[in-house]
Structure 1
Amino acid sequence: MELKRCVTEPLRKDLSINELWHGTDNGLIACWERGREVSSEVPELATRARMGQLVPLPWKGGVEKVIKTKSKMGTLRYLAMWQGLRGEPLDIDTTDEPTFQCSKFKVSVTFTNDPSKYADA
């Protein structure tokens, strides 16, 4: 399923936990919206994300140091929040597993919707 939202769309308000996290988008829109909020709350973090750093966020996918394997798995929820933090539109295909490389630590992260792939990451 493709999820797309424009950065000019207002943040949704007054949604239940069920609507936020258990709808057809599996919480990806909520993560993206939270990323947009964090962008104004922590501008330095947003700047680093815009520079291509996979900064630490509440979801698996951030890179805090160089690792020996040079690659790891992350969740699509991280990717959605990272896109919002960078001020980008939400653009995720939940059937795809995109890979991005952290500009600071040169670690590649593949983002997936399959929790078994990132559970131990």
Structure 2
Amino acid sequence: MTQHVHRTIGTPLRSGLTRTQLWEAADQGLIKCWEIGRQRATRFPDLAQKCLAGELPVLGWKGGVSRSLKKNEKFGSLKYLAQWQGLRGEDLDIDLGEERSLTCSRTKMRVTFTPDRAKYFNQLAEAEA
């Protein structure tokens, strides 16, 4: 049985949790990533605007794209997807057992966000231009 992680955008940010509660609970840290995205949207409105425009900018997790690569698709982390949803001011809505693909509006790179870490750790690292 897969787990669906969902929180509405109006849910207050959590506080007072331990590292284990934040990163190792059943949500696998997705709620924390989403909360970080919400906070960054306030601090970095230009970044939030890029996300709202459908871009997949480079963030702290695998999944962002700074330029097009020869292979026009890659894999990314569900943690990236959670942070991106927070930056966009959206509800957190991720199924831990499913892949989800998005295409960056700027680079046209297709990124498949996956729960299978081996898929994105086995890729060649994207060099920053």
What is the TM-score of this pair, normalised by structure 1? Answer: 0.98
Equivalent residue number for residue 120 of structure 1: 122
1:36 maps to 2:38: yes
Q: Secondary structure at the match of 1:110?
A: strand
CA drift of 1:120 comes to 2.9
Residue of structure 1 equivalent to 2:51: 49
Aligned residues: 121
Fraction of identical pairs, as percent = 46
Q: How does 1:63-74 map to 2 (within 5 A)?
A: 63-74=65-76
How far 1:100 moved relative to its partner?
0.1
1:106 equivalent to 2:108? Answer yes
2:122 and 2:68 map into 1 onto residues whose CA distance is 17
Secondary structure, in 3 states, of the residue corresponding to 2:102? Answer: strand
Aligned AA for 2:87? Answer: L
Q: Decide which of 11, 14, 31 is 1:12's aligned counterpart.
A: 14
Structure-2-length-normalised TM-score: 0.92
Partner letter of residue 66 of structure 1? Answer: S
1:27 aligned to which of 29, 37, 48: 29
SS class of match (2:46):
helix
Residues of 1 paired with 2:57 and 2:24: CA distance? 26
1:82 is aligned to 2:84:
yes
RMSD: 0.6
- The CA distance in 2 between the partners of 1:66 and 1:110, in whole Å, is 15
Structure 1 residue 114: deviation in Å?
A: 1.1
Moved over 3 A (4+): none
Paired with 1:42 and 1:61, the residues of 2 have a C-alpha distance of 19
Structure 2 counterpart of 1:59, from 36, 58, 61: 61
Which stretches in structure 2 are left out of the alignment for 5+ residues? 124-129
